[in-house]
Each structure stands twice: as C-alpha cells, then as structure tokens.
Amino acid sequence: MADYKAPLREMHFLLHEVFAAEKLWAELPQLSGVVDRETADAILEEMAKLAANTLDPINRSGDEEGCHWRDGEVTTPAGFKEAYATFCAGGWGALLGNPEYGGMGMPKMLGAQVEEMLNAANISFALYPVLTNGACLAIDAHASETLKRKYLPRMYEGTWAGAMDLTEPHAGTDLGIIRTRAEPCEDGSYCITGSKIFITGGDQDLSENIIHLVLAKLPDAPKGPRGISLFLVPKYTVNEDGSVGGSNNVRCGSIEHKMGIKASATCAMNFDGAQGWLVGEVNKGLAAMFTMMNYERLGVGIQGLGASERSYQNALAYARERIQSRSPAGAQQPGQVADPIIVHPDVRRMLLTQKALVGGGRALSTYVAQWLDIAKFGEGDARKNAEAMVALLTPVAKAFTTDMGLDCTVLGQQVLGGHGYIREWGQEQLVRDVRITQIYEGTNGIQALDLVGRKTVANGGALFEVFATDVQNFIDSEVDCEAMAEFIQPLAAALQRLREATGNMIAATREDPCAPGAASVEYLHLFGYVAYAFMWAKVVSVAQARQEEDSFYRAQVKTARFYFARLLPRTQGLAASVNAGSAALMDMEEALF
C-alpha cells in the first residue's frame, strides 16, 4: 500500500483560488483576526504530517487488532493511545471550538480539509475526536454557562472525549419511540436509566473521562419526537474543582463486531441511574441535536471523501507499477514484458472516475463548509441565504459523497485485481470502512427523505431556488466565454433536468403522499451529479486560463472533461426514474414481495 500523501495542492487551489477563502475570512469579523492564508496553510501542512506519520501507520494494524472489551472497559488497538496523545498535544481538538472556552475558532472551510486528511489516514481514529467535536457543538449551542465552563475546555483539550447516545435497540431512525428515562432529582440534575446501542466511542482508553450526550424522556413527556430531552452524562462524575471523581453508573455492556471501522469502539451503553444534566430545554432534545447535525453530516460526507482519496492514491500507485498486457495502441514500454496497466483505457476509466468524484466531493464539501461559516459568522441576508444553502445541501453532501465513496473505494479495489481482495494491500479495508458512512448519522435513505421532504416539497422548492440561482448566476457569468462552452452548456442542461424533476416531484406530492419517498434516493443522486458538475465548472473557470503555466491546472480541466463526458450523463437515467412516480413501488401488495 502506498504511503498516504495529503493532497495539499488541491486543497490550496480550492480554498484560495476557487473559493477565495481569505477574502471571505477578512469580511467576517469573528474570523478576520483569526485566520488568513498563511495560518491556514500552516495548519494544513501540520495535519498533513500528523496524518501521514502518526495516523496512517496504525490504520491497517488497528483494523486487524480491533478493539477489546473486558469487564465493561474498552481497550483500543496498539498505538491508538499514543496517537491520541499526539493529536491532543497538537491542539487539534480545539480547532473549531469556541474561543471563549479555549477553542481556536477556525472556520469549517479549513476544518473540512483537516477532516479529509484525518479520515483518509484513519477513519477509525478520526471518529473519536469527531464525536467529541459534535458533543462540543451541542454543548456550546445549548448547555448552561456552568456546564460549558466545566466541560468545554477539557473536551477541546481532548482530556475528556464526547459521545452521542441516541439509538436504542428498537429505535434507530425513529427516535420518537426511545425508552431511556430521565427522572428529575432535587438538586436540579436528572437520574438517567436506559440502554443505548451503536454508541461510537461510548467507551475507550484514550481520554480520562467520556462525556455522553444522551437522549431520554421525562416521566411526563409527550409521546413521539416532541417528548425527547438531551442530557449531559459523564462517565465519571466531575468534582466542583473540575477534577474527575468516581463512577457515574455508566457502563459499556459490550462492543459490536463489525464489517469495518474495527478500531473504533461501537458500544452498547447501560445507564443505571446515572446523574445527568439537561442540555437545552425540556422536550427539545432533538432540536438541540440538530444544531450540530449539519456539521456532523458534512463530516460524514468528508469521511467518504477521505476514503476515496486514499483509495485513489493506492490504485494510482499500483496502476503505474503493475505491468500486465499491452496497450491497445501498441506496446508503450517495449523493453518490458508488458506495459504498466495505466495505459489500458478501462483502468484509466476507473482512475478518472475516482479522481473526478474525489475532486467534485472535495469542492462540494468546501462549498458547503463555506455556507456553514457564513451561516455561523455572517449577518443579515447573507446569513439567511447561507442557512438555506446549508439546509438544502447538507443531505446531498452527506449521502452523495458517501455513496460515491463506496463506488470510489470499490473501483480502487478493482484496479488492484486479486490483490485488491487481500487484506494486506489495504484497499478492501477502505471499502469496509467507508460502508458505514452510508448508514450512520442518518442513513442515506433518510438523507434523501430529508432532501425531498423537509428541504424541498415542504417549502415548495424555495430552498432549491436559492441553490439554482447560484448555479444560474455562475452560468450567466460564464456564458460569453467560448472556452467554457463545453462545460456551461451541459451544466445548464443538467440544471434544467434537475429543475424539472424538482417541479414534477412537488406537483406529484399534491396527490400522492408517497411521491417524495418514491423518488428520494434517485433525486438525491441526480442533485449530487448536478452539484458536482457545478463544482467542476467552477474549478475549470479558474484552471482554464492557467493551463499553460502549470500542468496541475491542465489536469483539472481534463478531469472535468471526463466528468462531463462520462459521469454527468447518468443524470438522464436518474431523471427518468425520478419522474416515473410511485406506482411501480406502491402497487406491490406486501405479500407479493
């Protein structure tokens, strides 16, 4: 397996040339003194080193060893504890944190690149700090000042980690039916009792404490999702002076044996009268979770992206080294018994598909991160516009980038032929690891329902228009550029196809409540391919003029050309399927399946 090398050039190009991040940062008061191009590049370079030197080397071994559970305690694989210490010592846990409590207050646009490197090197490792980040976001947004002062600084340090405890054996997608109970105590705290499953980092041996955010119901809570509250429940109680006290009746009952991310502990957690504190308002626990959800969901998309990039790097290295058969255009290396397989058109198809999807995914993640930053740090109409973009694009960034993540890692595995199936080559691990990203943090089917339902049909396509306007403005701005015509024309046609599908779906819903659900996943894919086309057109609009000066730009233009010629046409079949309506799905009696 090739060593991981972070794609810093691509990241600089996107941040500084395509999205002009520095200009945005200078305009936003909370960022202007905090981050500029030089700082950002220095941060990226440091993470590139950490990913390559510390996290990548324990990725394969972590998969082989897995986590261990004994008597309620989880041990992570060899090297994880040391790597976590290095991570914390570098201050990485504080990167996006609130400066009032010790965070660095950096923008998500930068954080997205950092996360890509973390995940490309080691998804299992990355999950520990990622879950802590998520917990911090929810605490920062909704907890009392007391809780924030007590917990956030230690969590930003990484001394304490976080975990999100939502799912129960009978309640995954449908959190409205959870059974975990929260009984009010006299001192204002709550007594939490119940069982949770699939808790990432629910227990581990990396941090001295674990801060659980637990969804539970008060005794008098209304039924369904409007009766759920959120509680902060530490594994060990925390004394008044901030030191760690004794056990809080939070126990890891077992860990799951999974397809992948084996070095990430997926825990069944038992809360047996554990002491917890309310975060946010009573019965508004789900809303409190949603604050961090956009960040987390984009983050999962970036996991798919990281695995894709890693898979591409390995496949490319193999395709350049492995010699097998001759090019159809005649021997390219007559001195050898065969040519390197990168000469074969179909191997190039597999590599370019990965490269085009990775480039599109990285650009889309950065674009969504930009809107998250404006939604967080901006004001007025700009902020409103950004919130609309975030709401609409988050399910696409999560689901499409992870669906493409499976495709990319499968292609990267296929380039290696038989060796791709052998564990020591590392490619098959990426397939197993990335597969979870399509499932957790809301399955991709749920993302698609969110996109078509709450985000599109419910507002009559108003959010869609915000996005479509951004695409159309870009098209209008480039329409006179002859060199861009080969991209702008198919982009306009694809946008039109998406617009029609959107309109059809909204119209169909008036008479058919099953219409959005029937179209949802294919609609999300249609949307995703159009969004990537938009991203590639933006990339080309910068790269086109500089092709002569640097082959990096030429590679961008040629990859975009591949995307438009070979991948964007998939929208044709997707649109036809979206427009087919729900009858073919719903007419089947249940007994006939």
User: Which residues make Cβ contacts (< 8 Å) with residue 299, sequence separation at least 6?
Assistant: 115, 130, 133, 134
Per rule CB under 8 A, is residue 444 in the interface with a second copy?
Answer: yes
Give me 138's structure tokens.
């929810």
Annotated active-site residue 441? The verdict is yes
Per rule CB under 8 A, is residue 428 in the interface with a second copy?
Answer: yes
- Chain-centroid distance of CA 547 in Å reads 31
Q: How far is the CB of 552 from a second copy (least distance, A)?
A: 8
Give the Cα separation of 121 and 63 in Å (integer): 12
Region near a second copy per CB under 8 A, out of 152-160, 186-194, 277-285, 313-321: 313-321
Give the Cα separation of 396 and 177 in Å (integer): 27
Give me 95's structure tokens.
């990167």
Q: How far is the CB of 572 from a second copy (least distance, A)?
A: 4
Region near a second copy per CB under 8 A, out of 50-58, 213-221, 226-234, 433-441: 433-441
Per the residue annotation, which of 387, 428, 441, 478 is the catalytic one?
441
Give me 6's structure tokens.
């972070």
Which amino acid appears at position 490 of this protein? P
Decide whether 49 or 570 has the Cβ nearer to a second copy: 570
Q: Which of residues 446-465 bind a second copy (CB under 8 A)?
A: 448-449
Q: Which one of 499, 514, 542, 546 is in contact with a second copy (CB under 8 A)? A: 514
Cβ neighbours around 98 below 10 Å, total: 18
Cβ neighbours around 238 below 10 Å, total: 18
Q: Which of residues 156-215 bind a second copy (CB under 8 A)?
A: 167, 170-174, 177, 197-198
Cβ neighbours around 254 below 10 Å, total: 14
Number of amino acids touching a second copy (CB under 8 A): 101
Q: Which of residues 397-416 bind a second copy (CB under 8 A)?
A: 406, 410, 413-414
Q: How far is the CB of 590 from a second copy (least distance, A)?
A: 6
Q: Which of residues 252-281 bind a second copy (CB under 8 A)?
A: 256-260
Q: Which one of 443, 458, 459, 472 is in contact with a second copy (CB under 8 A)? A: 443
Per rule CB under 8 A, is residue 439 in the interface with a second copy?
Answer: yes
Phi, psi at 164, each rounded to 5°? -110, 120
Per rule CB under 8 A, is residue 587 in the interface with a second copy?
Answer: yes
Q: Which of residues 343-382 bind a second copy (CB under 8 A)?
A: 343-352, 355
Residue among 323, 303, 310 nearest 3 (CA): 310
Give the Cα separation of 37 and 107 in Å (integer): 12
Q: Which one of 61, 239, 247, 325 is in contact with a second copy (CB under 8 A)? A: 325
Q: Which one of 9, 68, 226, 570 is in contact with a second copy (CB under 8 A)? A: 570
Residue among 107, 84, 61 nearest 424 (CA): 61
Decide whether 355 or 538 has the Cβ nearer to a second copy: 355
Q: Show the binding pattern over residues 229-248: x = contacts a second copy (CB under 8 A), - = does not.
A: --------------------
Residue among 265, 238, 263 nearest 253 (CA): 265
Q: Which of residues 42-101 bind a second copy (CB under 8 A)?
A: none
Decide whether 172 or 285 has the Cβ nearer to a second copy: 172
Per rule CB under 8 A, is residue 320 in the interface with a second copy?
Answer: yes
**Burial state string for 472-482 with b = 16 or more CB within 10 A and e = fewer than 16:** eebbeebeeee
State the DSSP string of 11-42: HHIIIIIIS-HHHHHHHSHHHHTT--HHHHHH
Per rule CB under 8 A, is residue 584 in the interface with a second copy?
Answer: yes
Q: Are strands 209-216 and 160-165 parallel, antiparallel or unpaired?
A: parallel
Element (H, E) at 142: helix 123-142
Decide whether 154 or 497 has the Cβ nearer to a second copy: 497
Decide whether 81 or 432 has the Cβ nearer to a second copy: 432
The length of the chain in residues reads 593
Q: How far is the CB of 153 from a second copy (least distance, A)?
A: 33
User: Which residues make Cβ contacts (< 8 Å) with residue 224, sequence separation at least 6?
Assistant: 176, 177
Q: Which one of 338, 382, 458, 493 is in contact with a second copy (CB under 8 A)? A: 338
Decide whether 75 or 414 has the Cβ nearer to a second copy: 414
Q: How far is the CB of 72 from a second copy (least distance, A)?
A: 20
Work out the angle at residue 495's Cα, subtended by the Cα atoms of residues 494 and 498, and round it to the nearest 5 degrees.
90
Q: Which one of 187, 329, 480, 510 is in contact with a second copy (CB under 8 A)? A: 329
**Cβ–Cβ under 8 Å, residues 203 and 210:** yes
Q: How far is the CA of 277 from the CAs of 19, 207, 227, 317, 513, in angstroms?
A: 41, 21, 16, 51, 40
Per rule CB under 8 A, is residue 333 in the interface with a second copy?
Answer: no
Q: How far is the CB of 448 from a second copy (least distance, A)?
A: 7
Give me 369's structure tokens.
């991160």
Q: Which of residues 546-565 bind a second copy (CB under 8 A)?
A: 551, 554-555, 558-559, 561-562, 565
Phi, psi at 232, each rounded to 5°? -95, 120
Q: Which of residues 473-512 bind a second copy (CB under 8 A)?
A: none
Phi, psi at 217, each rounded to 5°? -115, 135
Decide whether 473 or 551 has the Cβ nearer to a second copy: 551
Q: How far is the CB of 468 from a second copy (least distance, A)?
A: 22
Q: How far is the CB of 67 from a second copy (least distance, A)?
A: 14
Decide whether 11 or 343 has the Cβ nearer to a second copy: 343
Q: How far is the CB of 439 from a second copy (least distance, A)?
A: 6
Give me 111's structure tokens.
């954080």
Q: How far is the CA of 433 from the CAs of 288, 316, 426, in angstroms?
A: 29, 20, 11
Decide whether 27 or 346 has the Cβ nearer to a second copy: 346
**Cβ–Cβ under 8 Å, residues 395 and 453:** no
Per rule CB under 8 A, is residue 536 in the interface with a second copy?
Answer: no
Q: How far is the CB of 419 from a second copy (least distance, A)?
A: 8
Residue among 102, 110, 126, 122 nearest 60 (CA): 122
Q: How far is the CB of 263 from a second copy (least distance, A)?
A: 15
Q: Which one of 93, 107, 378, 420 is in contact with a second copy (CB under 8 A)? A: 420
State the DSSP string of 518-536: HHHHHHHHHHHHHHHHHHH
Decide whether 3 or 174 has the Cβ nearer to a second copy: 174
Decide whether 310 or 376 has the Cβ nearer to a second copy: 310
Per rule CB under 8 A, is residue 422 in the interface with a second copy?
Answer: yes
Which residue numbers are catalytic?
441
